[in-house]
Amino acid sequence: MARPSYFDIDLRALEHNVRLTKKRAANKKICAAVKGDAYGHGLIPCAEIIAPHVDSLAVAFCEEASALRQTGDLPRIVVLEGPFDLADARFIADNGLDSVVHSAYQVELLFSARLPARSTIWLKLDSGMHRLGLEDGEITAQLKRLESNNHSNIGLMSHLGDAESVDSAMTQAQLVRWCAAVDKRSLPTSLLNSAAILHGYDTKSDWVRPGIMLYGAADLPTEHEDRLLPVMHFRSAVMALRWINESEVVGYGGRWQASKPTRVATVPVGYADGYPRTARNGTPVLIDGVECPLIGRVSMDMITVDVTALASVEVGSEVELWGSSLAVNTVAQHAGTIGYELLTRLPARCPRRWSR
Ligand SMILES: Cc1ncc(COP(=O)(O)O)c(C=O)c1O
């Protein structure tokens, strides 16, 4: 008998989300982020679904772009971190990829690699996140450098560090710098990520770069008719049940103590399966569709859940760790992290199953 723990990836939900994203970002070009193994959902199967609907795919670095070449018809591919070295630059040039340039040295690498004219160079503006990007003056200098090399296929891009909060001082300051940089140049522009698309940011961005919303895990409310569907369903089944007396403790370190006789269900998923070890007592776990609290520390291979209130529970009862009825972001909040992290750090030992 196989251990009943799986990540089920619903590719129909992914396609639904891509269509909704196009609707939300009407008249914009779409660059879909498939970096991080398509946010943990599987690069190749997801790219095959997404590609026919979008104008380009975004990966973080060249190895991810190389992995994408296993798929058939692909739109353009943008390497978001650009080349790290000459080998990367040659890979980008030889495959006619598009590249972000966040530092001057990358322009030199791309020239040395003889970047073809059809490849877009996305000059990245540091609009205030101060992680990557060129200052406005450096953008001007690099535009001149590109012009002198007859490379005219250029765009301007930046990234928002707090797009969830439209009114935050950081967002406002970034938008001011972005608009100033955009207004003085006549270049294609790319700024908006999922949160900014969902909020309907009204700023110059010919392209949008959605990621998390494609996978149905954006932590923002959407209109009922525009509901994004979770693509990943982390499922398992109850493997053991027991009653414990008042004052007995559960799990490593006895972190949880029973205040009354308690029925404990053990579920075969642990931190080695991608369930966060930092999940606190009370983190919701769905058993037969009913929300039950996690109790005790998450082990490498198992968790323990209080199912006292669930009379019908039995060995084999269905468990949802996250998915349609329990948002990955809810679990993440209880574990002091974000849905992005939970989705993108799935270990290989817990199988993924793709369905259409
Ligand atoms: C440069 C860049 N653009 C777009 C995205 C997509 O962001 P989101 O997943 O929040 O839509 C990311 C994700 O981190 C990114 O780093």
Q: Are residues 280 and 154 in the same domain?
A: no
- The answer on 261 and 172 residing in a single domain is no
User: Both 153 and 245 in a single domain?
Assistant: no
Q: Is 35 considered catalytic here?
A: yes
Q: What six digits make up the tokens of 14?
A: 């992914």
Is 111 found in the same domain as 46? yes
Q: Which of 6, 28, 35, 275 is catalytic?
A: 35
Q: Which atom of ligand 1 is nearest to the CA of 80?
A: 1
pLDDT of residue 157: 98
Give the distance (Å) from ligand 1 centre to CA of residue 195.
Answer: 9
pLDDT band at 1 (very low <50, low <70, confident <90, very high): low
Mutational pocket test of ligand 1: of 159, 171, 342, the residue with most ligand atoms within 8 Å of the beta carbon: 159
SS3 call for 344: helix
Instruction: Assign 285 to helix, strand or coil.
Output: strand
Q: Residue 305 is part of which domain span?
A: 232-355
Same domain, residue pair 182 and 132:
yes
Q: How do residues 59-68 score in pLDDT, each as one tens digit?
A: 999 999 999 9
pLDDT of residue 219: 81
Total of domains in the chain: 2
Catalytic residue among 105, 144, 184, 252: 252
Distances (CA, A) of 53 to 29, 49, 210, 214: 10, 8, 13, 12
Which pLDDT does position 121 carry in this prediction? 98
Mean pLDDT of 327-348: 97
Q: Which of 118, 96, 92 is nearest to 107 (CA)?
A: 92
Are 311 and 198 part of one and the same domain?
A: no
How far is the centre of ligand 1, averaged over its atoms, from the C-alpha of 276 (Å)?
Answer: 23
Q: What is the CATH number of the domain that holds 83?
A: 3.20.20.10
pLDDT digits (tens, 9 = 90+) for 231-284: 999 999 999 999 999 999 999 999 999 999 999 999 999 999 999 999 999 999
Q: Could you give the residue ranges of the DSSP H alpha helices within the chain? A: 11-24, 35-39, 43-50, 62-68, 86-94, 104-112, 136-148, 169-183, 194-199, 328-334, 339-344
Residue 210 Cα: closest atom of ligand 1: 11
pLDDT in the model for residue 224: 65
Say what the pLDDT of residue 340 is.
98
CATH number, domain containing residue 282: 2.40.37.10
**pLDDT tens readout for residues 119-140:** 999 999 999 999 999 999 999 9
33 lines ligand 1 (CB under 6 A): yes
Q: Is the CB of 228 under 6 A from ligand 1?
A: no
pLDDT digits (tens, 9 = 90+) for 319-329: 999 999 999 99
Taking residues 103-128, what's their average pLDDT? 98
Contact between 166 and 133 under an 8 Å Cβ cutoff? The reply is no
